[in-house]
Amino acid sequence: MKSIITFIILFFAASAFSQTTISGKTLDKKGKPIAGANIYIDGTYDGATTNENGQFSFTTTTTGNQILIASFLVYESFKVTIDVANFQDKTIVLKESSNTLDAVVISAGTMESGDKARVSVLKPLDIVTTAGSAGNIIAALQTLPGTQSVGEDGRLFVRGGEANETQTFVDGIRVAQPYNATIGNVPTRGRFSPFLFSGIAFSTGGFSAEYGEALSSVLLLNTEDNPDQNKTEVSLMTVGLGLGNTQKWKKSSLSLNASYINLAPYQAAIPQNLDWNSPFQSLSGELVYRYNFNNGILKVYAAFDSSKMDINQENINGPEKIRVDLNNNNFYFNTSYNGRFGTGWQVVTGMSYGYSKNQIGLDLDNVNNDENAAHLKLKIKKNFSNYFKLLVGGDYFISKFDENFVPNLGITKTNGYNSNIAAAYTEADILFSKKLAAKVGFRASYNDLLAESTISPRISMAYKIAKNSQFSIAYGDFSQSPSVDYIKYSKYHQFQSEKASHYILNFQYSKDNQTFRAEAYYKDYSNLVKYDTQAIAYNSVFNNEGSAYAKGLDIFWRDGKTIKNLEYWLSYSFIDTKRDYKNFPTAVTPSFVANHTLSLVTKYFITDWRSQVGFTNSFSSGRPYNNPNETQFMNGKTKVYNNLSFNWAYLISPQKILYFSVSNVLGTQNVYGYDYAKNPDVNGIYNRRAITPTADRFFFVGFFWTISKDKKDNQLKNL
């Protein structure tokens, strides 16, 4: 008996110190060896790295059943229970992880900027260092393909669509009034100061079911999650003053900024094509508060601005100029929460409220309007695996608009509308392999004002043909309630939503600071609003029988690699579109469309001068206009448009920047179109007046100073 016990003890002791060899090789799905994989026994140091042939071999002192792990960055970790005594010359096949940097991402329609973007078309700094953009997010986006530069308007016109067909979202929540108020033929700019946003996605079509009430495009702005440090920023500009402050605490941070803009000095220095009674002035402020929870982030964004201007507009219909006096007050508030819970669940929820009040004086008459708009949103996303994600969500949009026309003589006319739109959407993200991905979803919505429901399917797919190249396709149906110009007359006419379908084919190549995109699209519009009078009025006869198409090709090339210190991008858009809407007698190309648009943006950094110099050249072919002296409708075409802008940022010291920019360096006399008289003169001729830029050139000089503890940060990004 004793000997047996001794024997057992000896046996165990021996096995405890004995070493077993584990060996084998690691292959990928195609049978190619994987070098550099880490193969080990869970809970021990025992393991090895595979060699070039994918082989590994190591010894272990463990016995019995153990968990063997094989891990390698771009592959999914492989776990298997093995019997250490019997794991020699085995083969492990690793599956490529979908959650890696090089998996395919659908790129049809969408151009992204920011840190989280895989392929950045614009970098965050670009918004402000692009010559000619003057800190206007919208102007920088107009250097991307698919957009039309409509100089007298300033808003985004995408692929043959009207400006109101683009919907803007901040942190996923709608902004009902994204532009500063303005008056006819004086261009507007985006309300938001660019430096609060760390990521921008701009979709020119085929976007996700998450976004609705947009026929053409969505612009998604995401506020920065965490500012880097406490700082104070001071800006002194030829057009005004700005002041900003950021405070950072352990879990939260607050950024505030305020600016006062007054164009009086600029208008005094540069000859103006307009007759100003009082220059454009605005006072605005923004606030962003962020609070980081363990599993989520809460953001509050609020913006206020008040602006006014007063001009005498030339009037082709009479010898007297018309005095237009505009006062606008705007308030926007948005709060959102983005958090994770359970395993693979994500929730995004929030609400926004926007209020805009305009008081417009037209000679002795007055127009007052105010708009209240709110958006409530809830979105839940579940990651079932790296291969399947499901999104479900809902939106509720509330809009209330009231307008009073108070004529000098006569009675006040009141128009307006109340609209509530409820929408629900769902979308699945499916990754079939690292090379093939699809997104399938639909959006259902009900509009109580129009008393109609719509269902809009959306589908997109991407296929990677080589390491750096991929094709994407997208199809989607989009609907949007008609613009406020129409639906404020809802009490006289029952309108319907306008509709569009998008078909997109995209090719993208991206490698080492070089990106090439080519996108062909076809857009089919239906249900567009038409009316039968010269101008939209309550007594117009409306219908929803308009239609349109737009097809074209957008090309983008960005290169920051070929020439040292030089970054440049080139955008070219070709568009063929005809639209039968408004009071058009036939389908024609509308006046805001130029068939060819070409932009070249360059930025060159001169280290010795501590300067960045940039040129932007925007070119577009002539735009149509309607000449009532001709029988054919919309038969005129303006001359080509060209604008070369220049900017120079000079770093005086790490925290002081001097910035200079000038637009239209060449002094090209651009014409956007013509206004024709309503009635012919005594000789039977309709007289006209050219619509031109408000001034031939825009000069800007600014000094930006950042005060922070580390003395490193500066406002280069604000420029």
Partner 1 sequence: MTKLITAFALFVITFLSAQGQQAVTPATAGQFEQGMGKAFGLWKEGKNTEASDLFERIAAVETTTWLPNYYVALVNTTSAFGTKDKEKIKVLLSKAQTALDTEMVKDQNNAELYVMQAMINTAWIVYDPMTNGQKLSGSTMELYAKAEAIAPNNPRVVFSKAEFEIGGAKFWGRDTKPMCAQIDKAIGLFSTFQPETAFSPSWGLDRALVAQRNCK
User: Which residues sit at the interface with partner 1, rule CB under 8 A?
Assistant: 36, 38, 40, 42-49, 73-74, 101, 123, 125, 228-229, 512-513, 560, 565, 567, 605, 607, 610, 653-654, 708-713, 716-717
CB of 637 to partner 1, least distance (A): 41
Alpha carbon of residue 423 to chain centroid: 22
- Residue 47 or 172: the one with the smaller Cβ distance to partner 1 is 47
Dihedral pair phi/psi, residue 207, rounded to 5°: -80, 175
CB of 512 to partner 1, least distance (A): 6
342: left (phi over 0), alpha (psi -120 to 50) or beta: left
Q: How far apart are CA 276 and CA 314, in angstroms?
A: 11
H/E segment holding residue 140: helix 137-141
CB of 40 to partner 1, least distance (A): 5
CB of 340 to partner 1, least distance (A): 15
- Residue 125 or 634: the one with the smaller Cβ distance to partner 1 is 125
Residue 377 near residue 364 (C-beta atoms within 8 A): no
CB of 644 to partner 1, least distance (A): 23
- Residue 49 or 385: the one with the smaller Cβ distance to partner 1 is 49
Buried b (16+ CB within 10 A) or exposed e, 584-621: beebbbbbbbbbebbbbbbbebeeeeeebbbbbbbbbb
Nearest one of 493, 508, 602 to 554, comparing CA atoms? 508
- Residue 246 or 328: the one with the smaller Cβ distance to partner 1 is 246
Q: How far apart are CA 171 and CA 630, in angstroms?
A: 49
SS3 of the chain: helix, strand, coil, percent, to 5: 5, 55, 35
Nearest one of 381, 303, 393, 290 to 336, comparing CA atoms? 290
- Residue 173 or 288: the one with the smaller Cβ distance to partner 1 is 288
- Residue 96 or 567: the one with the smaller Cβ distance to partner 1 is 567
- Residue 44 or 414: the one with the smaller Cβ distance to partner 1 is 44
Quickly count: other Cβ atoms within 10 Å of residue 167's Cβ: 21
- Residue 341 or 609: the one with the smaller Cβ distance to partner 1 is 609
CB of 263 to partner 1, least distance (A): 30
CB of 611 to partner 1, least distance (A): 12
CB of 123 to partner 1, least distance (A): 6
Length, in residues, of the chain: 719
- Residue 377 or 603: the one with the smaller Cβ distance to partner 1 is 603
Quickly count: other Cβ atoms within 10 Å of residue 135's Cβ: 25
CB of 26 to partner 1, least distance (A): 13
Three-state secondary structure of 185-210: CCCCCECCCHHHEEEEEEECCCCCCC
Give how far Cα 252 sits from Cα of 53, 255, 399, 419, 633, Å: 50, 10, 32, 37, 59
Q: How far apart are CA 32 and CA 96, in angstroms?
A: 12
Place of tokens 């020699």: 88
- Residue 74 or 553: the one with the smaller Cβ distance to partner 1 is 74
Nearest one of 447, 468, 358, 440 to 404, comparing CA atoms? 358
- Residue 5 or 466: the one with the smaller Cβ distance to partner 1 is 466
CB of 472 to partner 1, least distance (A): 22
- Residue 639 or 711: the one with the smaller Cβ distance to partner 1 is 711
Report residue 340 as tokens.
């994770």
Give how far Cα 609 sits from Cα of 475, 550, 655, 667, Å: 49, 47, 16, 28
Q: How far apart are CA 28 and CA 104, in angstroms?
A: 18
CB of 513 to partner 1, least distance (A): 7
- Residue 45 or 410: the one with the smaller Cβ distance to partner 1 is 45
CB of 691 to partner 1, least distance (A): 39
Q: How far apart are CA 78 and CA 385, in angstroms?
A: 15
Residue 487 near residue 402 (C-beta atoms within 8 A): no
CB of 38 to partner 1, least distance (A): 4
